[in-house]
Structure 1
């Protein structure tokens, strides 16, 4: 009796389906099936199953620099030189601005002369004191003068150092607050900069999520030019108190050190682990995408059909989460091309 090619293909597929629910079929049920699989004529199938997967909550966030500061003037004086401008990259310790230092240099010279004098007097008094030629009070007075002169010299050197404003860390200048020729006042803003070496994402979380976020402390951040890559956060810090108006908690998520193609002020997405859930999954290889249509090929009642599905994320390695369109225990084909051929044979058989 003649058997159609469609019936042969269905027979092979049905042999491959494991009778146990929630488990992928791994072994053929007959010697004939094993032979067909070795020849590549046995399309693989899988049974839809349900597993525990992480419960993820995705929220909007903003990227900011961990190190960002405004450098202010420590002394009063006229600005004589500005070495960098907005968008310039500077190394830590680089002089970015100079203030007129004539007065400070004069003060250093005076302090140095007084220190040298006090030092010499102190050494002389020590020598004669050892010989018993002066009283202990005279030595103490010379020592006090020496210490005072030393402190005055250190203070003068510190004031001179303040005429050269240096970058507190390596980073980029984002704002310049003064111009050459202006007189800087003590405390006046000079330059604002930030470092791209350490970045973080900040987000306001509702109080309903905060306990689970603190419990699991696992977070992922989307990075890349098109936010097409997800990396695990290095650490996170949750504010100990909520905003009294919005009732949200500020959370700071630190990114690993490195180049991630994201910059301060950019919008991104952050995923928080909040617990576990039961998910319906199939192997990712079973998913078929045809233009804007996503689906799978399902075997039911000895018939192969295309089923529309709605996808979740990739979980447990190469398992695809299914939000709708499939039920636990159904069987899907892992070879879309073989499924198309089977459907064509099926339609041809029905016409005959």
Structure 2
């Protein structure tokens, strides 16, 4: 049976399928959207020439605390990876003998004080008699000597008490600064002797970077004295947020290593850095001169997965997405390795440029659809 299609419904369906795209409500015309974009011109800029080297982060304060008196380890209050505040007790030693020595020294001081009081009274009596010529000069000399001897015994007793108290304090081994325990050298119940290592720790408050620099670069380091330290989140140069810090002090060792002919250079870092620990590798850039490089504003660069690009606005006002390769960061600018030419214009607002590019694509599709219908 031959069935005729419903002509009105078929025409309506074809009209929906092949209808040209239209701008959504509120969308600006492509030309107007591109004209409103804030742009910047790609140009050359004089930037420092750097010699890149790997450096190792190390702690300025790294200490092994040792016992200063003998005693049995009675209590261990911290262990490896524990954070310790300055002055906190790390290890307690048994202090019974030291307390007994303090008590003995205190008793000797009390006896010496009484002996000095007796000698002073005797000296006062003999001095009065001597002035009245009732005692001989030898008696006066004997009283003077006994008084000086009593004063000396008192001084010795005071020193012995201070020494005993200091030895008692040594049974409380304390942290010299705030830091992290990296190694523990004693066990509970062990007899600690003077000079025996107890704990090793490092401080994270003061860090520095050690770099082995070739001798050919050392003259520029000493003359210019500029170094950029790239922290771990800035090791990948394609990342938008590259953290660069300048050391507070640069120390160049005055001798070279005999095997590698390199000079050791220490870079003291600022004290307000976070997520940086001893033993980590960082990139360092020693400034050796200046050069002209093509740069682009950081705000204009976008990162889409593994693609780095910019929105280029041509002289006709059309927006194009261009993939580029970027290098080091210099302030608010990024060095362009490839993908752009001097004099080209890039959009500073990638979001607005993306909207303009979509509107431009819709307009082109609409114009193409209208051309197909006319044909």
TM bucket normalised to smaller? 0.7 to 0.9
String of CA shifts for 1:61-107, please: whole Å, max 9, x gaps: 22222222111121223222222222222222222212222222222
TM-aligned CA distance change 1:105 to 1:262, over 3 Å: same
Q: Report what 2:148 is aligned to.
A: 140
String of CA shifts for 1:88-141, please: whole Å, max 9, x gaps: 222222222122222222222222222222223224434543551643333222
Q: Report what 1:274 is aligned to.
A: 288
Distance in 2, matches of 1:312 and 1:156, equals: 65
Quick check: 1:242–1:248 contact (8 Å CA) kept in 2?
A: yes
Secondary structure of the residue aligned to 2:256 is coil
Quote how far apart the aligned CAs of 1:326 are. 4.2
Distance in 2, matches of 1:103 and 1:54, equals: 66
TM-aligned CA distance change 1:120 to 1:221, over 3 Å: farther
String of CA shifts for 1:149-183, please: whole Å, max 9, x gaps: 22222222222222221111222222111111112
TM-score under structure 1 normalisation? Answer: 0.73
Which is further off, 199-208 or 125-134? 125-134
Secondary structure of the residue aligned to 1:273 is strand
Distance in 2, matches of 1:219 and 1:95, equals: 39
Does residue 46 of structure 2 align to residue 52 of structure 1? yes
Matched residue pairs, number?
315
TM-aligned CA distance change 1:244 to 1:276, over 3 Å: same
Distance in 2, matches of 1:100 and 1:168, equals: 21
Q: Report what 1:262 is aligned to.
A: 276
Does residue 44 of structure 2 align to residue 69 of structure 1? no
Does residue 338 of structure 2 align to residue 314 of structure 1? no
TM-aligned CA distance change 1:82 to 1:226, over 3 Å: farther
Q: Report what 1:235 is aligned to.
A: 248
Secondary structure of the residue aligned to 2:187 is coil
Secondary structure of the residue aligned to 1:241 is strand
String of CA shifts for 1:271-330, please: whole Å, max 9, x gaps: 33333221122344555666645456475999998765432233353x3322234444x4
> Structure 2 unaligned runs (5+)?
1-28, 129-139, 348-352
Distance in 2, matches of 1:322 and 1:107, equals: 75
Quick check: 1:53–1:316 contact (8 Å CA) kept in 2?
A: no
> Structure 1 unaligned runs (5+)?
1-35
Does residue 158 of structure 2 align to residue 150 of structure 1? yes
Distance in 2, matches of 1:91 and 1:305, equals: 57
Larger radius of gyration: 2
Quick check: 2:301–2:309 contact (8 Å CA) kept in 1?
A: yes
Quick check: 1:174–1:194 contact (8 Å CA) kept in 2?
A: yes
Distance in 1, matches of 2:68 and 2:302, equals: 66
* Structural RMSD (CA): 3.9
Secondary structure of the residue aligned to 1:74 is coil
Q: Report what 1:188 is aligned to.
A: 196
TM-aligned CA distance change 1:249 to 1:126, over 3 Å: farther
Q: Report what 1:216 is aligned to.
A: 225
TM-score under structure 2 normalisation? Answer: 0.69
TM-aligned CA distance change 1:47 to 1:122, over 3 Å: same
TM-aligned CA distance change 1:295 to 1:180, over 3 Å: closer
- Of 150, 160, 185, 1:177 maps to 185
Does residue 98 of structure 2 align to residue 104 of structure 1? yes
